[in-house]
């Protein structure tokens, strides 16, 4: 079994009009994925946002490029992802929260991951992680640590994978309703098993499966 769990994190903004624009742009790109036959109509609707971006609307530009980059990843159109993320990072320089920079660095990390350039992917995610840790965002940091752990699995570096998955586990074990809870427990369980910690591996998944007969496969 090969573990790879890549997540694009679109953290919310606090301004109502920015949030509304984000929802509209996200909806349009989602429609483009689900209804490619409507491409001309959807692109016409997106043109209004592209025009505003060209006129220097930084907030809207960050929103547009973030969702555009996510769309390119989801539709396997990878050639333009780095260029889009770089544009986004330029616009993110004036964001005092650092959240937008995190989004575009995560986008780069996902790009390199899909290209199987795992070292560069780890570098991008580590830059993103540093921001999350400095701004006190433990959940986002946990998600990014989980991505890094998965990348070390791909490099067959199980010791490093365990180091990062342990950080994730120590945070996320207190958030049982987290949408990625089960996936994170599974990653940590495999990391424990790979280092021969079978009892710890079993204990890691027990809270999720609520069973006493959990078996761990180390053939990953």
Q: pLDDT per residue over 114-151, tens digit each?
A: 999 999 999 999 999 999 999 999 999 999 999 999 99
Cβ burial 93-131 (10 Å sphere, 16+ → b, else e): eebeebbbbbbbbbbbbbbbbeeeebeebbbbbebbbeb
What CATH number belongs to 1-136? 1.25.40
| pTM check: above 0.85 | no
Sketch the domain layout of the chain as residue ranges. 1-136, 156-220
Cβ atoms of 73 and 64 within 8 Å: the answer is no
Note the pLDDT tens digit of each residue in 147-186: 999 999 999 999 999 999 999 989 988 888 888 888 888 8
């Amino acid at each position: 079994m090969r573990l790879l769990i890549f997540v694009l994190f679109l953290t919310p903004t606090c301004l109502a009009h920015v949030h509304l624009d984000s929802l509209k742009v996200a909806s349009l790109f989602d429609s483009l994925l689900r209804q490619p036959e409507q491409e001309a109509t959807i692109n016409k609707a997106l043109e209004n946002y592209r025009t505003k971006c060209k006129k220097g609307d930084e907030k809207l530009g960050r929103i547009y490029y973030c969702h555009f980059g996510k769309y390119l990843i989801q539709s396997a159109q990878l050639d333009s992802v780095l260029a889009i993320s770089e544009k986004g990072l330029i616009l993110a320089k004036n964001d005092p929260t650092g959240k937008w920079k995190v989004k575009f660095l995560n986008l780069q990390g996902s790009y390199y991951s899909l290209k199987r350039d795992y070292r560069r992917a780890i570098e991008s995610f580590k830059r993103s992680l540093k921001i999350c840790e400095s701004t006190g965002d433990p959940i986002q940091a946990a998600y990014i640590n989980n991505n890094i752990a998965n990348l070390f699995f791909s490099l067959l570096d199980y010791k490093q994978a365990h180091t990062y998955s342990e950080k994730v586990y120590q945070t996320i074990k207190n958030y049982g309703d987290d949408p990625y809870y089960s996936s994170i427990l599974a990653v940590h369980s495999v990391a424990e098993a790979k280092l021969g910690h079978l009892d710890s591996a079993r204990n890691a998944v027990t809270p999720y499966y609520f069973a006493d007969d959990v078996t761990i496969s180390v053939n990953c």
